[in-house]
Structure formats: structure tokens, C-alpha cells
Chain A
Amino acid sequence: MTGIEEAAARIAEEGPSERRFARDPVNQAMINNWAEAIGDRNPVYTDPGYAATSVHGGLVAPPAMAQVWTMPGLRGQRADDDPLSAMMSIMDEAGYTSVVATNSEQRYHRYLRHGEHVAASTRLEGVIGPKRTALGEGWFVTTVTTWYVGDEVVADMVFRVLKFRPSDASGGAEAGDVLRPVVSKDTEFFWEGTRVAELRIQRWGGTLRHPPGPTPPDGDLGAVPDYVVAAGTGTVYSFVVQHHPGVPGKTTPFVVALVELDEGVRMLGELLDAEPSQVHIGLEVEVVFVPVEAGLTIPAWKVRS
């Protein structure tokens, strides 16, 4: 399970948020603004004389306004226990900074009338991802909201948004637009090392292993690893030159080298500041540590001088 999936499971388990009241009771001013902007001229929403003779026997609110009453507004803060806002923060931190709604399924149990003060409660239904979409890589977040007047359910909605990292194709690369390694329990020592400029190699007894894994090469399930700090020097064992497709945060062409370290294991990384035509197997290289963002430093290679 990824960190995002774990967070989603935790938030879903917390259940529905406290019911939160709309800023205003159902009122003619907001209905008039809405009907005017949408272009809906149905007089049951705006004409008291007509509405009195209608099936409603008086003015009612447009059912499609159900969600409008409880929108947070310009300065509005979502409640601390709002599961959508909690999920959005987690996605923002993971670099999925943009959001777009994809599905809305609303049911109206009855029409609302002036003066009724609705309250809404939302729970997290689920999170699915990461998915590649036309907008960029992202996660689909589904919530269920229920609207109440008193204890009566008046409307409900299944709502789905795509929380995504904008793709580079738009030219709108953002600071968050960078490839991140997946950090697991087995690899976190490695990434802690790069933060302090140490290239750490997993060691099982007398055997070095890279990439690090959960078990030693001989499969002894009782073994516990430690690590050694590599000197950071080696030679190019193999390499590729990336021309296409583009990679977020990189300018093509660039070189990715598989380096055989002096300690004997092989490690992948970008070979920086090298002309692709000058790169060859056996080229002597040394490690450099490239800070990407707070808390993330990626090792790369440069030609040894």
C-alpha cells in the first residue's frame, strides 16, 4: 500500500464529517443570482404568483443548487474533519497539485423552501490511482455528501475529482513536476543517506546488495541487514541516451548510466554534464548528490576529473 492509499484508508475509516451548516438559509437572493447566471427561467424559483399556483404551492429552490448552499465560499475554510480537504492536502504534498471534478451524481429527495437551513456531512468513499490521464498522472477521489434539514435527508451526492500533477506537455511545468523515487522500508536508509551525502549500500553479512531488498541473496529469512558507505567512485558498465519521450524536469537528450561501483555493486543514475557522444563503457565516474526538493536528494554521476 502506498502512503496515499494508507492515508485514504485512515480517512475513510473516520466516517462522515460533522454536519456543517450552509452560510445562509435558502433565500431568494442566492436563487435569483443562480437562475440569472445559469439562464434558468423557471418561475417556480423566482415568481411568487406563479409558484403559488404550481405543484409546489409556493416558491422553491432549484434542486441543482443543493451543493451550492454549502460551498465553502471565497474565504471559507473547510472543517478540520472534512475528508475531501484532508485528502487534497495529502495529494498536494505528494505533488498532485491540480484538481478537476469528473463525476457528480445528485439525488433530490424533495425541493427546498425559503428559510430552510441545510447542513452537509461528507465521507470519503475511496481513492484510486495513480492513473495516467490526458491531464497528467493523478488519483480519483470519491466522496459521498448528504444534505439534511434537521434530521431529514433532503439530497445526497456521489462526487469524484481527479487530483493530478499537470503534465509537461502543456509547457506548464511546476516546481512539483519532478519524478520521485518510491521510498519503502527497505530503501529509506538509502534516501536518508543521500540527504547527508552518503551513498549507502545494503549489506547482508559479507554480501553487498543493490538495489536494496527485504531479503539477502541466499534467502535467509532470519537475517538482518546493515549498510556500508560507498566511496562513490566507479566506472560506466552500460548506459542509454534518452532522446524521447521527454521526462518531467529534464532536458533531452540526457544520459542514464549503470555504474559499477568500486565496491562491486551496480547503480543507476543520470550522468550529468556529459556529451552523449563522449560517453563510453569503462568511463570513470564519481557520485554527486543533487538536491531536488526539501527532504529529497538524488544521486547522479559525473565524469571523474
Chain B
Amino acid sequence: MTTDHPRPPPRRSFFGAWGRRELKGLFWQLLVVGIAVAVIAFLWSNTVTNLSARRISTGFAFLGREAGMPIADSLLSYSPRDTYFWAFVVGVANTLRVAVIGIVLATILGTLIGISRLSANWLLSRLAAVYVEVLRDIPLLLQLLFWYVLMQALPAARLAWRPVDGVFLSNRGLILPSIPIGMPQLWVLGTALLGLAAFYVIRRALIAQQMRDGKPRKAWPIALGLIVVLPALVSVLLGVSWKIEWPELRGFNFVGGLTLAPEYFALLIALITYTSAFIAEIVRSGIQSVPRGQWDAANALGLRRSFMLRQIILPQALRVIVPPMTSQYLNLTKNSSLAVAIGYQDVVSIANTTLNQTGQAIEAIALIMAVFLTISLGISFFMNWYNARIALVER
């Protein structure tokens, strides 16, 4: 179609050595940047006029004012007398509480389902396939509303279901036995964390040694010592109590234990099940991407199955799995903002309330963006680091 166009004769450049191509590039860049600047300037001047017409002051001074909004469910202590700033912090904590636990549980569930899809058991693989198809093809918001309606339809506190002793499921949410965590318990947990860090360093040294002389070294006794025995010793020496607090029904409500509010619980279930369907597909394709020959070779070497999975299959599968997994984690975190639909107060919901109360739309949206960009960058940073660690090293 285009071949019959005669080629234009080469034109002499007006600017000499500085070619036509560079000139054109400069022209396009100036044009696009000019348009972008013009649009932003137009929007900006409109906004300034509108804000002054509505007598809305700009700036983040409102963060120091008393918020006056109630927050039903939070880890941090909060009262309506606190400032907007503190309300935002509480909202961020709520978002993180959903995102972190959601990511962990969705990964576990998704991996199980992804492996099930590859099972030799026909029934298991079919059920896993149906699970994936159904959950992937229904909007998350609809699933979230569905779970929330189901939570509300649960019996009242007095008639709560007790699947296991000490666990209650009612329209007040899920109530679990808990261990009260105070300063002494935190000391013990801190020791365990330190032990974990120390173990990490020691393990690297052990692997380096193995690289030199080829002898495998057992790392688990050191792990046991540092992560379990040492904290246990500290616990005994300090006399820390680990008494479990059992929830009890008193009057119309529960006393003691850990309460997961219905909003939080519904949001968590919806995010976990929805994301696990996507994770299952990622895990499946990752495992399938390992060439058959690798399985055969490992089998031929007579390796134990757990060793084979850990040392041969998973390292290769992970290279395919990790990058798309990162975007699923980011999606889950962003999707937690649907909380606003059922009244769980995450950072988006609190920003929205703030916006309605103060009219500080630009600042509230800027805060949401800042929070999510920070979280996204954090997850990307961590996952990229992990990805670089497991990536194929070609020599």
C-alpha cells in the first residue's frame, strides 16, 4: 500500500549539522510540555479562584485540629477529641493491618490452590479450577458486599456459633482467645527477632563456607537455639506470663479475647479469597514453567521429594512467580481501599470523611496518594530486592 509512494528527496537541513531529526524532536517535546504546562496552569488558576470563592484555606494546618470523627475499630488508641493527623495515622495503621495480614494469608491460600490445580487428583484440580474461575470473574466490591451481608446475617452474640471452644462467630464479628501483649512480652519477642537476624547472618556465613569446601552444614540447630531456646530462656528468667485470655459472653457482648469486627473480617475474607485466585494462577504457571526434565533429573538422582522441591523446583519456579506476585501484593493493598463501601475506616475512608468535614479536598487526596505511593514503593523495593536475590545468575 505504501510502497508506491516515492521517497521524498533528501532536504538540505536549515540548521546545518544540527539535523532535522533533532529539530523535530525538540519541537514535539516543546509542544507536549507546553500543552501539559498550559493544562496544569489552567486547572491551577481555576482551583485557586474556586477555593477563594468558597473560602477554603489551603495548606495542612487542618491536621492539627480536632477531628471529631469516631473510629470504631483500630489498633491504636483513638478518641474523637484527637487531631486529624492522629486520625490519619490510625487510618494508615488500619490499612496496613488489612494489607499485611491479607498478603500473608492470600499467599498461603493461593499457593495451596495453585498446587491443587496441578494435582493428579481430578476432583481436587477441578474444584481448584472452579474456585479460580468464579472468584476471578466477579467484581471484588460485589464479593465484599456479599461477605458483609453474610456477616450481618450471623446470629446475635447470645446465639453465637462456636466452631471450637473459645472461638465465637456472631454478628459482632469473630472473637478469638488472645494473649495480652505488654512490655515484658515484647522483650521476649524482641529477643526472638534479634535471634532471627543473628541466624540470618550466621546462615550466610555457613553457605559461604559450603561454597568453599562443598560440605553441607546443618543450620537448624542454630536456628532452634537462637529463635526458640534463647527467647524461652529470657521468658523464664524474666518470669513473663503467657496466660491465654479466653473470651466470655457477659450480658449482650463479649469480654476479653481478640475481636475482629465484622467490617474488618469481611474485608479480610474478600481480599484473601479474591487475591488468592490470582496468586493460584501465578503459582501454577510458575511451577509449570519448570521444564519436565528438571523433575526427571531430580528423580533420577534419587533425591528426597522435599529436597527436590526446595532445592530444584522452587528456586526455578520463583523466578517466574515473584514479579507478578509483586503486582498482586500491590493490588491487594490498593484494593483494601474498598473498605469505604462497608464502613471499615482505612486511610481512604478517613481521608474521605476529612474531606467532607473540612472541604480540604486537595490536601486529603494528596495524603491518600502519598500514603499509597509510599506503601507501593516499599513493597516494590522489597520485592525487587528479593527478585534480584533469586534471579538467574548467568556467568
Q: Do A and B bind each other?
A: no
Binding site for B on A (CB under 8 A): none
